[in-house]
Structure 1
Amino acid sequence: MLLTHRPVSAEDVLTICDFPQTPQELFFMFPKAQYPLTEAQLLASIAQRSDSTVVEGDNAVVGFANFYSFQRDGVCAIGNVIVSPKARGKGVARFLVETMVGLAFDRHRASEVQLSCFNENTAGLLLYPQLGFVPFGVEERVSQDGRRVALIQMRKIRGDGRYRMMSLFR
Structure 2
Amino acid sequence: MNLKHRPVQADDVKTICSFPQGVQELYFMFPKAEFPLTEAQMSAAISQRFDSTVVEANGEIVGFANFYRAERQGICCIGNVIVAPSARGKGVARFIVETMTELAFERWDANEVQLSCFNENTTGLLLYPTLGFVPFDIEERASPGGGRTALIHMKRSRRQAGLFSVGQSAY
Q: Which deviations, in whole Å up to 9, do the C-alpha atoms of 1:68-119 show, x marking residues without a partner?
A: 0000000000000000000000000000000000000000000000000000
Q: Secondary structure at the match of 1:89?
A: coil
Q: Does residue 42 of structure 2 align to residue 45 of structure 1?
A: no
Count of equivalent residues = 169
2:162 alignment counterpart: 163
CA offset at residue 166 of structure 1?
Answer: 4.8
> Is 1:93 equivalent to 2:93 in the alignment?
yes
Say whether 1:12 aligns with 2:12: yes
Let me know the Cα RMSD of the aligned residues: 1.5
Distance 2:49 2:165 in 1: 22
Report whether the alignment pairs 1:115 with 2:115. yes
Q: CA deviation at 1:165?
A: 5.2
Task: Give the AA of the match of 1:164.
Answer: L
Letter in 2 for 1:87: A
* TM-score, normalising length: structure 2: 0.96
- TM-aligned CA deviation for residue 58 of structure 1: 2.1
Taking the aligned partners of 1:85 and 1:165, their CA distance within structure 2 comes to 26
* Identity value in percent: 64
1:99-157 CA distance string (max 9 Å, x none): 00000000000000000000000000000000000000000000111010000000000
Q: Deviations over 1:31-74 (max 9, x none)?
A: 00000000000000000000000000022000000000000000
The 5 A counterparts of 1:114-153 are 114-153=114-153
Give the SS at the match of 2:159.
coil
Which blocks of at least 5 consecutive residues in structure 2 are unaligned?
Answer: none
Q: Residue in 2 aligned with 1:3?
A: 3
Map residues 31-110 of structure 1 onto 2, 5 A cutoff: 31-110=31-110
Amino acid paired to 2:107: R
Q: TM-score, normalised to structure 1's length?
A: 0.96
SS at match of 1:28: helix
Stretches of structure 1 that go unaligned for 5 or more consecutive residues are: none
- Kindly indicate whether structure 1 or structure 2 has the higher relative contact order, using CA contacts under 8 Å at least 6 residues apart: 2
Q: In structure 1, what is the equivalent of residue 22 of structure 2? A: 22
Paired residue secondary structure (2:32)? coil
